[in-house]
Amino acid sequence: MRRLGISIYPARSTFEQDQAYLDLAHQYGYSRVFTSLLEINGDQTAVIKRFKQVIAYANTLGFKVIIDMNPRLFKQLGVSYDDLHFFDQLGVWGIRLDEGFTGMEEARMTRNPYGLKIEINMSAGTHYLDNIMTYSPQRDNLLGCHNFYPQRYTGLGTPFLIKWSRLFRKYGLHTAAFVNAPTATFGPWPVQDGLPTLEQDRDLPIAAQVKHLLLTDLIDDVIIGNAYAKEEDLKAAAEAFFAKRPSLNVILNQETTVLERQAILENVHLYRGDYSEYVLRDTQTRVKYRDEDFSAHDNHGTIKAGDLIIVNNDYGQYKGELQIARCEFANDGRRNVVGHLAPAEAFLLAYLQPWSTFELKRA
C-alpha cells in the first residue's frame, strides 16, 4: 500500500503546532509521518517525552510513524540493535537508519518481536542492501527510503535515484523519497533550502515533484520533507498522489477552438504504443471526433518540444488526432499548434510509457 506522508520535528516546534498539522494532513489522506531523532541536546527525558506525546497523537489518527536514527544515538540512549523495546514503547511504526550497521544487525532487527519496520537509507550508492540480504532478513519488515538534501545543489540526480531504487525493486522492497513544500519553512536543522530527494525537484511546484517520483515507477511512498506545508501544498500533493492516472498541466493558446479544448481537456488519453521520436500520439480523439470540423489555424512555422497539436482537416483521416511534440520539427500546415505543456511539467513527458493512459489539465 502506497502512503503519502508529512514530516514533523518536535524538537523545533510545539505539540499544539504538530497536532494541528497532523489534523490538517489527515483530512487530505496523509497516513505516514517522518520524524528525526539524530541527536539529543539538553534534557534527554524531556526530549523523549515530547516525541512520545506527538507520536501517540499521530497514532490515534492512523498515521504510521517512522523515526530517523543512527548508531551513535543507539549508544546514547542505551539501546541495542537486538533489543528494540525502547522504540516499541515510543510508539513508532518503524525505525529509519540514517547510517547503517554491518548488515547482520539490520537483518536481525527485522526479526524483532514487536513487528517494527526497519527502514534503510537508499541513497548511499553502495551494495549495502545486498549485504543485508545475505543475512536473510524478514523482508516484510525491511523498507527503503532515500535521503533529503537541505543544501542546494547537493540533491540526488535522477539517474542515480533510478539506479539504486531498482536494487530495492529487485528484492521487492517498499520504497520512499521526499519532496519539498515551497510553503514550508523548516526541517531538522537550522539552515535548509528545502528538503527534496532530487535536486531537479527543489524549486518545482509540489504536484510536479510528486508526479516525478511516481512516474519513475520506483517510489512507493512520497513524504513532504519540510514543515509546515500550507494547506494549498498539502492539497496539491494529495491530488497528484491519489490521482487514478498521471496528468500533465497544459497552457492553451487563446485561438484554440472550443472543440479542440474539449478534445484536450475532457478525455482520458491513450499513448499509442508504436513509439515515435517526434510525437506522442493519442489516436482515440480522431475516432471520437471523426465527424467534426478541425479547420486549419496556427499551422505554420516550427513545432517545438512540448507543443500540443491537433491534426487539422488537411490531413484527411488523421484529423482530430491529439499529439504532443517530443522534439522540434517543421510544421507542414496540417497540424494546429493549440498550446504547450506547462514549463514546470514539460520534462515529465519523457516518463509516460507507450500504452499508458494520462490526462491533460489546464495549468
Q: Is 19 exposed, middle or buried (0-12, 13-18, 19+ CB in 10 A)?
A: middle
The CATH label, of 3.40.718.10, 3.20.20.70, 3.30.1490.480, 3.30.70.2860, for the domain at 4-242 is 3.20.20.70
In order, the DSSP letters of 20-83 are HHHHHHHHTT--EEEEE-S---S-HHHHHHHHHHHHHHHHHTT-EEEEEE-HHHHHHHT-BTTB
- In the numeric block, which cell numbers belong to residue 246? 498521471
Residues 95, 119 contacting (CB under 8 angstroms): yes
Give ranges for CATH 3.20.20.70 in the chain.
4-242
Instruction: Tell me which long-range contacts 83-90 makes (C-beta under 8 A, separation of at least 24).
Output: 84/109, 84/112, 84/114, 84/116, 85/114, 87/114, 87/116, 88/114, 88/116, 89/52, 90/48, 90/51, 90/52, 90/55
Say which DSSP state 198 is in: B
Q: What is the pLDDT of residue 267?
A: 98
Which bin fits 91, alpha (ψ -120 to 50), beta or left (φ > 0)? left
* Superfamily name with CATH number, domain 248-362: Cyclophilin-like (2.40.100.10)
221-224 and 176-179 as β-strands: parallel, antiparallel, unpaired? parallel
- List, for residues 5-36, the tens digit of each pLDDT value: 999 999 899 999 999 999 999 999 999 999 99
CA dist 254 and 310 (Å) reads 15
Query: Which sign does the torsion angle of CA 285, 286, 289, 293 carry?
Result: positive
Q: What is the pLDDT of residues 31-56, one digit of tens each?
A: 999 999 877 777 888 889 999 999 99
Number of Cβ within a 10 Å radius of residue 60: 9
Question: Which among 168, 147, 306, 154 is positioned nearest to 225, based on CA atoms?
Answer: 147
- Residue 350: the pLDDT is 97
Q: What's the confidence (pLDDT) of residue 76?
A: 84
Strand pairing category for 142-145 and 176-179: unpaired
Burial of 173 (0-12, 13-18, 19+ CB in 10 A): buried
Task: Give the pLDDT score at 352.
Answer: 98
Are 245 and 358 within 8 A, CB to CB? yes
User: Which parts of the chain register pLDDT below 70?
Assistant: none
- The confidence score (pLDDT) of residue 27 equals 98
Q: By the 8 A CB rule, do 185 and 193 touch?
A: no
Q: Where in the chain is the domain with CATH 2.40.100.10?
A: 248-362
CA 324 to chain centroid, in Å, comes to 24
Whole-number pLDDT of residue 286: 97
Q: Report how far residue 321's alpha carbon sits from residue 288's, in angstroms, rounded to the nearest whole number.
A: 9
Does pTM surpass 0.95?
yes
DSSP 224-280: E-SBPPPHHHHHHHHHHHH-SS-EEEEEE-TT--HHHHHHHHSS-EE--SS--SSEE
